[in-house]
Amino acid sequence: MKPAIGIPECHDAGGRIRPGRQYLYNDIAYAHAVSSAGGTSFHLPIQADPEALIERIDGLLLPGGDDFVPAGLTRDTYPHLATTDEQLAFDRALLHHALERDMPILGICYGAQLMALEHGGSLHYHVPDDVEHAIEHQLDERTGRHGVVVQAGSRLGTLTGRTEFEVNSLHHQAIAEPGETFIAVAASRDGVTEGIERQGTAFCLGVQWHPEKLDDDVNRALFRGFVAAAAEFSAN
């Protein structure tokens, strides 16, 4: 059987999609990328028993999402769209239980940032303000690209077979410190972290760009590596 990849959903609690209602949603590109890599995706809605969901999947994909709120601010005062408390608590619980099982994990954008924060790392809450001489990181979704340099010998470098390539960039928050047990393995030319890995043998990798939106050899290899790790996890 194809490995089961769980993908938690974004939470619209503020009526952005339809006033007066709460919705859970995700970009279909994640499911397409998982399917193309040989897996089957299952969306994980917010509910009371996240551990039970982790017991039924072989890999966890933490997708992109809304902003983390800087310390000292609230969702009412923060000027950007912000992740809800319900979603953040649910995603944290999923990550915790997946790590306990040494399950393969791939974090994308918000997902990578969550991995860092949950291990004592920190964020740049607004790259243009926090990083001196920062390049532009909020680029056109269809055409905007910037280069990243990947550490040779890292899991990311081994999977992609490259140490330099172009990626899309849709974020204004980014990882400042990757946290305990994680190391930074990729960065843009301004020094902003673009990839982190957990030290050890299990597949636990986060990237700042959106590989599900890039149909090229590098990003297909990333998803194939993740799904292959989930298949191995399922077999053991």
Which two tokens mark 81?
Answer: 């769209």
End-to-end CA distance of the chain: 14
Q: What is the CATH number of domain 4-235?
A: 3.40.50.880
Other Cβ atoms less than 10 A from the Cβ of 120: the count is 12
Torsion, Cα of 147, 10, 50, 60 (10° steps)? -30
- Per-residue pLDDT tens, the chain, 236 aa: give them: 899 999 999 999 999 999 999 999 999 999 999 999 999 999 999 999 999 999 999 999 999 999 999 989 998 899 889 999 999 999 999 999 999 999 999 999 999 999 999 999 999 999 999 999 999 999 999 999 999 999 999 999 999 999 999 999 999 999 999 999 999 999 999 999 999 999 988 999 999 999 999 999 999 999 999 999 999 999 99
- The C-alpha atoms of residue 220 and residue 226 are separated, in whole angstroms, by 10
Catalytic annotation on 146? no
Strand order in the sheet with 40-44: 40-44, 4-8, 59-62, 105-108, 204-207, 193-198, 182-188, 146-150, 164-167
Catalytic annotation on 109? yes
Please tell me the pTM assigned to this model: 0.97
Catalytic annotation on 210? yes
Beta bridge partners of 123: 175
| Active-site residue, from 9, 11, 109, 137 | 109
Q: Which pLDDT belongs to residue 77?
A: 92
| Active-site residue, from 11, 124, 172, 210 | 210
